[in-house]
Amino acid sequence: MWLEAHGAGDARRGSLRVVKRVCTIGVYEWDLDTFLEALRAADVRVLLDVRQRRGVRGRQYSWANAVRLQRALAIAQIGYRHHRELAPTTELRQLQYADDARRGVGKRSRVELAAAYRERYTREILDRVDLAEIVAQLPPDGAGALFCVEADPEACHRSIVAGRLSSEHAVLVNHIRPRRLLRSIRA
């Protein structure tokens, strides 16, 4: 459990508060077994699904469709919550796809979000959500995990949510990346 002193006076009196932790993780480039291993290694206790549509195309990712995923998480003793209020709208996703097309990148090879998408997602979605309620529901020991589709957190709205949790709610953030991305970051 992560603890910190809540002010010098409180620390002298022995009052400590729990520091909440959140990870981010996507679907792409994982299979179910390595996905669950990564969650266990990060001590994730609850998965916070921030997808609008809770399905993924392609047989290799069928494990990430809501019913199958929830069943696998239950067996692994990891909680599940769907936070549709944090999902981008279809219109916002189309805005990002148009920018991807302009740049000549596919959504699976995107490495960053368009500035217009980031601004509109923040204004239209994130600014309207009370993240304090979500922080209060994070486990006091272990971590929560923001879950979406993209492999790279910078290419997904979950990184915007994680940034806000960190800056405004002092939540510690760790991005869980597939091995390929870890290799490219270290190079």
- pLDDT score of 180: 62
The answer as to whether 4 is a domain residue is no
Instruction: Tell me, letter by letter, the H, E, C secondary structure of the chain.
Output: CCEEECCHHHHHCCCEEECCEEEEECCCCCCHHHHHHHHHHCCEEEEEECCCCCCCCCHHHHHHCHHHHHHHHHHCCCEEEECHHHCCCHHHHHHHHHHHHHHCCCCCCCCCCCHHHHHHHHHHCHHHCCHHHHHHHCCCCCEEEEECCCCCHHHCCHHHHHHHHHHHHCCEEEECCCHHHHHHHHC
Q: Considering the domain boundaries, does residue 8 fall inside one?
A: no
Asked, for residue 95, whether it belongs to a domain, the answer is yes
Q: Name the residue with tokens 């990870």.
A: 23
140-176 confidence digits (pLDDT tens): 999 999 999 999 999 999 999 999 999 999 999 999 9
pLDDT tens column, 82-110: 999 999 999 999 999 999 999 999 878 88
Instruction: Say if residue 186's pLDDT is above 80.
Output: no
Residue at 25 is within a domain: yes
Q: Is residue 5 part of a domain?
A: no
Which pLDDT score, from 0 to 100, does residue 25 have? 98
- Indicate whether 12 belongs to any domain: no
The pLDDT tens digits for 29-68 are: 999 999 999 999 999 999 999 998 877 878 899 999 999 9
Of 18, 5, 17, 16, nearest to 45 (Cα)?
Answer: 18
CA distance 93 to 81: 22
Beta-carbon contacts of 61 under 8 Å, excluding residues fewer than 6 positions away, are 27, 28
Residue 15, in any domain of the structure = no
For the chain, the domain total comes to 1
